[in-house]
Structure 1
Amino acid sequence: MTTYIPSLTLPSVVFEQPAAAILLPVLAGTAIGFSTRPKETQSTYLKLRQPPLRPPPWVFGPAWTTLYGLMGYAAYRAWSTGMSSLDPRKVQLTKQGATLYTIQLALNLVWMPLFFRLQRPIEATVDVVALTAVTGYLTYVWGQVDEVAGWCLVPYLGWLSFATYLSAGCGYLNNWDFSGKERAMSTKSKDTKYVDEKAE
């Protein structure tokens, strides 16, 4: 069972102020997205073999912005509710969740550079599996502190489960090696932005 670890936890001011709690993950995620060169990232995404049900690239920006905002609000909500509680157990769960929250945020921000910049699909998939597990536990912990905070993390947890499928599926379909695996875009159809996966 994870406990509260101050050295692995964001400062309390991040959780206490709603603007800080919400903006931190949104801005951090945006910064990571731009640091990995969006045009190159999109090009790589479109050229690699993809599993079924993969969404178009334009979906990710709005989806992640929404999920980061919900994540931040959950952090603020859980902290403000839990730390003002007279129940010592809720206070402890709040602090424990703050450590889990910090860990999951770090794992979240590492995935994109691993997958796209460094082209390490195995490490990226291990990362997203760990991220999903930590977030699941965080949802359970903070859900005991504040029900709304727990529910705010549910869409994020669902998206992470889907992201795990996409990461593992893409890795598998490209033999866990992105070097030299990018494929030319199909010119046969102008109705799709995706690679013709049947072409060799």
Structure 2
Amino acid sequence: MTNWTPILIAGGGALFLGLAGGLLTPIGAWYRGLRKPGFQPPDWLFGPAWTIILGLAAWSAVIAWEATAGDSGARRDVAILFVVNAVYHFLWSPLFFKLRRPDWALIEVVFLWASLVALIVGLWPISSFASLLILPYFLWVSFAAVLNRAIVRLNGPFAGAGAPA
């Protein structure tokens, strides 16, 4: 018999992060006016990429949760790893788009990246498959960090940019 609770929690978390990320990512005049590197993918690609990545992360969470059945300490650790990652995932878009501070987002993405390293390393002994499901997320955030850095370099400084009027 399938236990739907972890599936619903992980799926709901992924859905929340995807929707929040979309709502906190206005592609308006400010963003369009930024100079971007030639290797930036088209804007339409980000939504499908994040949908797949967050779906894989939710799948990873369910596998890790099920693999730790009967070990409350391991389950707590898995939950902490995913919650910390979700917090850092959530923070990036408002920093970059709402506050118009790609420089702050660049600092924050280091913590997001580190949370993914922690997930990959922390999940490996529990389930190598759950750990491997995080790799696309890790690679995308690594690429996004390089892209974020290029945008900061091409457009900075951002001091005083602040939120839109």
Normalising by the residue count of structure 2, what TM-score does the alignment of the two structures yield?
A: 0.85
1:49 deviation in Å?
1.1
**Does structure 1 conserve the Cα–Cα contact (< 8 Å) formed by 2:25 and 2:93?**
no
Runs of 4+ aligned structure 1 residues displaced above 4 Å come to: none
For 1:198, the equivalent position in structure 2 comes to: none
**Does structure 2 conserve the Cα–Cα contact (< 8 Å) formed by 1:16 and 1:79?**
no
Match of 2:35, SS state, is: coil
For 2:64, the equivalent position in structure 1 comes to: 78
1:52 deviation in Å?
3.2
For 1:130, the equivalent position in structure 2 comes to: 111
- The 1:130/1:173 distance shift into structure 2, 3 A limit, reads same
Aligned length: 158
Pairing 1:160–2:141 present = yes
What stretches of structure 2 of length at least 5 have no aligned partner?
Answer: none
CA distance in 1, matches of 2:80, 2:35: 36
For 1:51, the equivalent position in structure 2 comes to: 37
Deviations 1:103-159 (A, max 9, x none): 111111110010011011221111111110111111111121011110110100000
CA distance in 1, matches of 2:159, 2:27: 17
Among 100, 121, 124, the residue aligned to 2:102: 121
Q: Which amino acid aligns with 1:25?
A: A
Match of 1:99, SS state, is: helix
- Cα-Cα RMSD: 2.2
CA distance in 2, matches of 1:156, 1:94: 21
Q: Which amino acid aligns with 2:83?
A: T
Q: Which amino acid aligns with 2:26?
A: P
- The structure number with the bigger radius of gyration is 1
Normalising by the residue count of structure 1, what TM-score does the alignment of the two structures yield?
A: 0.71
Identical residues among aligned pairs (%): 31
What stretches of structure 1 of length at least 5 have no aligned partner?
Answer: 1-14, 85-89, 181-200
**Does structure 1 conserve the Cα–Cα contact (< 8 Å) formed by 2:25 and 2:97?**
no
**Does structure 2 conserve the Cα–Cα contact (< 8 Å) formed by 1:93 and 1:142?**
no
